């Protein structure tokens, strides 16, 4: 299992803090910054970007994932998230449901780490599984496809046996 060291945690929180300052949040005033650690050691950053129409807005976490995935990176180890009103960090800023679902798409829920810092900067680390218990992800669909394929194979075998039995008599 992947282990986060203190230096990496501090670096991710520092990068997320820089993104907090770049946030485009003229409507809510709630800025969020994120720093995503890829499996290859690269860090992808993001900030929230609000839009007057609201629906096109994107969270910091999903911005970081979009940057990484658009560059062909899909293996991730951890993400640090900081946020708050007036660009000042709050106690902790957990990811919203849409961001948790995006994490579920690309990350192992048991090993992917979500780093949140309180207003003093003290990190709190969670697994994706702790943040999104019983999350729905690609595995759910793959298992269903495999089960459906296994069922189809079983049906074919039964038909073949049935025809073989018919031809005997």
Over the stretch 79-114, which tens digit does the pLDDT of each residue have?
Answer: 999 999 988 888 899 999 999 999 999 999 999 999
| pLDDT digits 0-9 by tens, 50-69 | 999 988 999 999 999 999 99
CB contact set of 136 (below 8 Å; sequence gap of 6+)? 101, 104
3-state class (DSSP) for residue 110: coil
Catalytic, 61? Answer: yes
Looking at residue 88, its pLDDT comes to 85
Query: Do residues 21 and 86 touch, judged by C-beta distance below 8 A?
Result: no
For residues 40 and 140, the model is more confident at 40
Looking at residue 146, its pLDDT comes to 60
3-state class (DSSP) for residue 49: strand
Looking at residue 150, its pLDDT comes to 61
152, pLDDT greater than 80: no
11, pLDDT greater than 80: yes
Looking at residue 169, its pLDDT comes to 45
CA distance 78 to 94: 14
50, 61, 143, 158: the active-site residue: 61
| pLDDT digits 0-9 by tens, 118-138 | 888 889 999 999 999 999 888
139: left (phi over 0), alpha (psi -120 to 50) or beta: alpha
Looking at residue 142, its pLDDT comes to 75
Looking at residue 41, its pLDDT comes to 95
Looking at residue 167, its pLDDT comes to 54
């Amino acid at each position: 299992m992947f282990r986060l060291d203190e230096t990496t945690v501090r670096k991710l929180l520092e990068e997320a803090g820089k993104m907090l300052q770049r946030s485009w949040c003229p409507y809510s005033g709630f800025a969020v910054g994120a720093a995503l650690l890829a499996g290859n050691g690269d860090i992808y950053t993001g900030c929230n970007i609000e839009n007057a129409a609201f629906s096109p807005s994107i969270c910091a976490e999903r911005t970081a994932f979009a940057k990484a995935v658009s560059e062909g990176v899909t293996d991730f180890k951890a993400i640090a998230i900081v946020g708050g009103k007036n660009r000042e960090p709050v106690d902790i800023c957990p990811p919203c449901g849409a961001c948790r679902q995006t994490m579920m798409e690309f990350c192992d829920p048991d090993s992917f780490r979500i780093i949140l810092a309180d207003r003093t900067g003290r990190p709190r680390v969670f697994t994706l599984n702790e943040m999104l218990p019983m999350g729905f992800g690609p595995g759910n669909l793959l298992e269903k496809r495999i089960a459906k394929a296994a069922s189809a194979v079983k049906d074919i075998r039964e038909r073949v046996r049935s025809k073989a039995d018919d031809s005997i008599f």
